[in-house]
Amino acid sequence: MRVAFFSTKPYDRQFFEQANTGHGFELTFFEPRLTAETSQLADGYEAVCAFVNDRLDSEVLARLAEGGTKYIALRCAGFNNVDLKRAHELGLHVVRVPAYSPYAVAEHTVGLMLTLNRKIHRAYSRVREGNFSLNGLLGFDLHGKTVGIVGTGQIGEIVANIMAGFGCHLIGYDMNVNEECIKHGMNYASLEELLEGSDIVTLHCPLTPETHYLINEKTIEHLKPGAMLINTSRGGVIDTRAVIKGLKSGRIGSLGIDVYEEESAYFFEDISHQLITDDVLARLLTFPNVLVTGHQGFFTQEALTAIAETTLRNLKELDQHRNCHNEVK
């Protein structure tokens, strides 16, 4: 089977070529993002392998189907960038990697919390300039604080486990109760109760019509004054403009994000030679109490190995049986 990869980076090639030794697929790595303009690169390829910021809207899917593509293999967990209804109408099978290393994202999430709390990002630059002053670096003990986890699936559960280890109290918000989280001492509550009771709020739900702008001007009003907000799920779960207002008023004490609603224009690219024309992102980057990472939560050796192996296994299953247990229905 011929597979066309989009949004390819050197690390994708490395991990996929390694995983392909047992499969023998014909892999072609294209650097551009998948868009209406680049979709013709996939002409004649039975499978397309796409990533989080590739656009799989109605137009692109129709173009891919016209060019002979049958399978869309997402090398990620989220599928909010795919028009699934249209894919099914066109007879395209969409597969994903539902789990690769939830530890990777959970550990990065906790990294953001620790860095923001103890201002390690500021201390790092300060000390390198010969400034050993502690003014402005005051943090708080995590022990005894309350962490609110929105979305207590695979990643949320591991965050709960780690934070329980710090001696934190846990509040969860999810329509599905996770028994493992309850074992870590989690109490489930409404979103408002979670926001009102948490010193740190961390988001681990998928981006869906229900979770779009879950954190907005109204819900921010429920936050404890000075609470820390962390988002490593998808950018659209928070209304960034409302969050900026919350930061300016002090309602939000600090913000750590690995995802941004308009990230596709910037993330995964080196644009250090350009100006950032997105004023919302540019404003975020001016706050000393905001830490932005460029969607790197998944970026560990273990996760990339698992992503490559599962993606190629998904394609093998489709090739052999025309169905796959990781198909998105």
Selected binder of ligand NAI within 4, 298, 309, 310 (CB under 6 A): 298
What one-letter code names the amino acid at 291? L
Residue 205 or 255: which CB sits closer to ligand NAI? 205
Selected binder of ligand NAI within 173, 260, 266, 267 (CB under 6 A): 173
CA–chain centroid gap for 139, Å, is 26
CA distances from 281 to 215, 241, 264, 290 (A): 17, 10, 12, 11
Strand partners, 71: 47, 93
When CB distances to ligand NAI are compared, the closest residue is 153
Neighbours of 31 (CB within 10 A): 12
Residue 232 or 254: which CB sits closer to ligand NAI? 232
Asked if 234 is an active-site residue, the reply is yes
Minimum distance, C-beta of residue 52 to ligand NAI, in the bound complex (Å): 8
Site membership for ligand NAI, residue 235 (CB under 6 A): no
- Size of the chain, expressed as the number of residues it contains: 329
Taking CB under 6 A as the criterion, which residues in 237-276 touch ligand NAI?
258-259
- Complete edge-to-edge strand list for the sheet that includes strand 252-257: 186-188, 169-173, 146-150, 200-203, 227-231, 252-257, 290-292
Site membership for ligand NAI, residue 75 (CB under 6 A): no
Residues 6+ apart with CB under 8 A from 75: 12, 49, 50, 51, 97, 307, 308, 311
DSSP codes, 177-210 = --HHHHHTTEEE--HHHHHHH-SEEEE-SPP-TT
Residue 61 or 155: which CB sits closer to ligand NAI? 155
Place of tokens 């992503």: 307
Cα gap 236→262, rounded to integer Å: 8
Residue 117 or 154: which CB sits closer to ligand NAI? 154
Please tell me the chain's helix, strand, coil percentages from 3-state DSSP, rounded to the nearest 5.
40, 15, 45
Residue 39 or 154: which CB sits closer to ligand NAI? 154
Query: Rg (Cα) of the chain, in Å, rounded?
Result: 21
Site membership for ligand NAI, residue 297 (CB under 6 A): yes
- Catalytic-labelled residue, pool 33, 204, 234, 251: 234
Selected binder of ligand NAI within 135, 175, 277, 320 (CB under 6 A): 175
Selected binder of ligand NAI within 35, 84, 114, 206 (CB under 6 A): 206
Taking CB under 6 A as the criterion, which residues in 77-96 touch ligand NAI?
77-78
Cα gap 175→172, rounded to integer Å: 10
Selected binder of ligand NAI within 186, 295, 318, 324 (CB under 6 A): 295
Asked if 295 is an active-site residue, the reply is yes
- The stretch near ligand NAI (CB under 6 A) out of 15-23, 132-140, 293-301, 305-313 is 293-301
CA distances from 302 to 14, 104, 212, 231 (A): 13, 8, 30, 22
Residue 63 or 295: which CB sits closer to ligand NAI? 295
Taking CB under 6 A as the criterion, which residues in 98-157 touch ligand NAI?
102, 105, 150-156
Asked if 210 is an active-site residue, the reply is no
Residues annotated catalytic, as ranges? 234, 263, 295
Note the residues at the interface with ligand NAI (CB under 6 A): 77-78, 102, 105, 150-156, 173-176, 204-208, 210-211, 232-234, 258-259, 295, 297-298
